[in-house]
Chain A
Amino acid sequence: MKQRSLASRILPRIWIGLAALFIVVYSTAPFVWMVIASITPEEVVGQGELWSSARKVQLFPSNPSLINYHALFDNVPFGLYFRNSAIIATGTMVLSLFVASLGGYAFARFRFAGRQPLLVAMLMAYLVPSVVLLVPLLVIFRNYGLINTHLGMIFAESSLAAPFVLLLMINFYASLPRELEEAAQIDGCSRLSALFRIVLPLALPGLVAGGLIAFIISWNNFLFAYLFTSTDNVKTLPVLMRLFALGEPAIWGVSTAGAVISTLPVALLFFAFQRMMINGLAAGAVKG
């Protein structure tokens, strides 16, 4: 084998390093800007109705501070919105996991009449334009008093997350060997208790991935939150973000501070469980 020159050994590494750097910068630049903006204090000039921000455009603040975060909690019921998002996202996660783990097991382990058409129908729920659902859900929720309730939001958002988690769980169950359940049945276990005592513990990685994906789908959801809530009691963070994007309040530092805090939970969850979730995302959308 020819001895490769120093250049031909290092050059590919440099290309790879540059490409990796480029990709990382591309993926994080807006996010980094957001964080920088949140620690940039802004002067406010004028009084009362006529105040405006004497915003200076700077790439990095000369005096970074956390003042925007204080202002955020002082002037906006941010904690309330955060709580709402947390409640609804957790509820969506629990409901989606419950329905999808049961339903997925049926598809994965049983052959029954209507198996394929039923799955097709459930996946169609995933592709029906949400626009089509907006109007009727608005009317239905009003009629049943589900507007401005956490429960209503949980139901609405679970219908978005459940098909995805269903696919994920079906794939996951399919990858588990049947022998364990069959052995349990020989020992006299009913199928239901075999599911709970043997299969689910094994399916834990799938459940974690599915639960997190459902949580994130709910946490990030804007459309339903915007349409089905009108009081601060139930509004979620994305709705607040939209208000900020309109320029109210006109202090970017505060808006971006809110944006940073809104992103942290899902970002942290994602990084903590990234391997499981990446596998889950890839499996849920296309069979691997």
Chain B
Amino acid sequence: MEGATTAPLGMRQPRRRKLDLLPYFFLAPIASLLILVSFYPAAYAVWLGLTDATLLKIGKENFIGLGNVVRMMNDRIFLESLWRTLRWDLAVVILEFAIALPIALFLNLDFRGRGFVRAVILIPYIIPPAVTALVWVFMFDGNFGVVNEVLLQLGFIDSYLSWLSEPISSFWIIVFAMVWAGQPLLAIIILAVLQTIPRDLYEAANVDGASQLRKFWHITLPHIMPTLLFLFLVRMIWMSNHIDMIFVMTRGGPGFSNYTEAVYSFTLTTQFEIGYASAVAVALGLVLLTGAAFYVRHLARSVLT
């Protein structure tokens, strides 16, 4: 060890240079993967969005600049989907929080079997989304659905309802399916944060005779608010990107009534209109970019400190 400090300066140089390159070697595999499968394609998508490419015309596409943007501005489906994406995001995320928060608070209590319940609540999250979509479609089927049967027997309805063929009811059923599947993750994360709140704060409040509501408002809420806001932003972004549940359940139908922007771009892709599909997708991406950048910078900073 002494040798290192008394050695001539020239001797130390090579070792430090070698150390400097090492992290980059460690990063090379994941960087290569993400460049090849995420960044380069994203750049290519921006390029494609400026062309009128279709899957049949690859290599022969024409550069049309902002022609796709003009098309978007005149496209009723595009404009309606923008609005619906927002409604979808808000509906899903607000409902998710409305369910996840009480569940997390409940699981924060100490009771026998808590570990079991905590594991069980994650079942909706673990089930493959395609399976969840299938089950919900079957349950709400207009002719044989178990939901119809139960509601009928309980006297809530007079005859079977065709849940998924009406715009409004199908929207809410897809929302409920998504909420059911997505809320466990929120609950687990909120629970993790709840468990970092020091117990003595509550004990001190108890000594002062504080009610449950006051304890929640003054102790619990301030501690979890940053996480809640953070999660809200993240879920809004994820839901804007989401396609699976909507597509598998109704293909965006009936008609176009359940199209979100992401679903629209996806449908365009399956119809081979890849230039326009890319433009729509990139437009969506740009709208989400500001929120995403904020989230990612915050996350990176918190991880790297």
A residues engaging B (CB < 8 A)?
13, 16, 19-20, 23-24, 27-28, 30-31, 33-34, 37, 55, 57, 59, 95, 98-100, 102-103, 105-107, 109-110, 112, 115-116, 118-140, 155-156, 158-159, 162-163, 166-167, 170-171, 174, 186, 191-192, 216, 219-220, 222-223, 227, 237-239, 241-242, 244-245, 252, 255-256, 259, 262-263, 266-267, 270-271, 274, 278, 281-282, 285-288
Task: For residue B130, give the distance in angstroms from its CB to the closest CB of chain A.
Answer: 4
Contact of B119 with A133 in the complex, beta carbons under 8 Å: no
List the A side residues contacting B293 at CB < 8 Å: 120, 124
Q: How far is the CA of A8 from the CA of B234 in the complex (A)?
A: 42
Report which of A103, A121, A220 forms a contact with B128, defined as CB distance below 8 A: A220
Q: Does B121 contact A (CB under 8 A)?
A: yes
Q: Contacts A98-B29, A130-B241 given: A155-B137 contact, CB under 8 Å?
A: no
List the B side residues contacting A245 at CB < 8 Å: 130, 133-134, 137-138, 248-249
Task: For residue B36, give the distance in angstroms from its CB to the closest CB of chain A.
Answer: 7
Report which of A131, A186, A266 forms a contact with B265, defined as CB distance below 8 A: A131
Q: Does B274 contact A (CB under 8 A)?
A: yes
Most buried by B among A31, A138, A245, A262: A245
Task: For residue A246, give the distance in angstroms from its CB to the closest CB of chain B.
Answer: 9
Q: How far is the CA of A137 from the CA of B281 in the complex (A)?
A: 13
List the A side residues contacting B254 at CB < 8 Å: none
Report which of B29, B131, B231, B297 forms a contact with A241, defined as CB distance below 8 A: B131
Contact of B237 with A286 in the complex, beta carbons under 8 Å: no
Q: Does B72 contact A (CB under 8 A)?
A: no
Task: For residue B61, give the distance in angstroms from its CB to the closest CB of chain A.
Answer: 11
Nearest residue, chain A, Cβ from B126: A270
Contact of A285 with B30 in the complex, beta carbons under 8 Å: no
Report which of B113, B136, B249, B274 forms a contact with A30, defined as CB distance below 8 A: B136
Give B115-159 interface residues, CB cut-off 8 Å to A: 117-124, 126-139, 144-146, 148-150
Write 17 A-B pairs (CB below 8 A) sorted by A numbering: A59-B146, A98-B29, A106-B24, A120-B293, A125-B39, A128-B292, A133-B45, A140-B41, A158-B37, A162-B34, A241-B130, A245-B138, A263-B128, A278-B118, A282-B192, A286-B299, A287-B302
Report which of A59, A103, A274, A288 forms a contact with B30, defined as CB distance below 8 A: A103
List the B side residues contacting A282 at CB < 8 Å: 188-189, 191-192
Task: For residue A182, give the distance in angstroms from its CB to the closest CB of chain B.
Answer: 12
Contact of A116 with B301 in the complex, beta carbons under 8 Å: yes
Q: How far is the CA of A285 from the CA of B138 in the complex (A)?
A: 32
Contact of A170 with B303 in the complex, beta carbons under 8 Å: yes
Task: For residue B206, give the distance in angstroms from its CB to the closest CB of chain A.
Answer: 13
Q: Does B106 contact A (CB under 8 A)?
A: yes
Contact of A103 with B192 in the complex, beta carbons under 8 Å: no
Q: Does B262 contact A (CB under 8 A)?
A: yes
Give B186-200 interface residues, CB cut-off 8 Å to A: 188-189, 191-193, 196
List the A side residues contacting B277 at CB < 8 Å: 134-135
List the A side residues contacting B281 at CB < 8 Å: 129, 131-132, 134-135
Task: For residue B156, give the distance in angstroms from its CB to the closest CB of chain A.
Answer: 16
Nearest residue, chain A, Cβ from B20: A112
Among B62-70, B165-173, B215-223, B282-290, the stretch that binds chain A is B282-290
Nearest residue, chain A, Cβ from B230: A286
List the A side residues contacting B11 at CB < 8 Å: none
List the B side residues contacting A287 at CB < 8 Å: 299, 302-303
